[in-house]
Amino acid sequence: MEKAYKLLAIQEGISNRAAKDLIDRGVVYSGGKKVTVARGEISPKAKFRVEKINKPKIIYQDKKIVAVDKPAHMTTEEVARSYSDFTLLHRLDKETSGVLLFTKDEEFHEEAVKAFKRREVVKEYIAVVQGKCVEPLTIDQPIITIKKGNILFSKVADEGKDAVSHIEPLMLEGKLSKVKVTIETGRTHQIRAHLKSINIPILGDTQYGAKPFKRVMLHAWKIELLGYKFESKEPSEFVRIMNMG
- Catalytic site residues? 93
Q: What is the DSSP string of 49-68?
A: EEPPPPPPEEEEE-SSEEEE
Could you give the 3-state DSSP secondary structure of residue 209? coil
CA distance 47 to 56: 29
Amino acid (1-letter code) at residue 205 = D
CA distance 71 to 58: 11
Could you give the 3-state DSSP secondary structure of residue 198? coil
Work out whether the CA dihedral 58, 214, 75, 139 comes out positive or negative. positive
Is residue 34 within 8 A of residue 28, CB to CB? The reply is yes
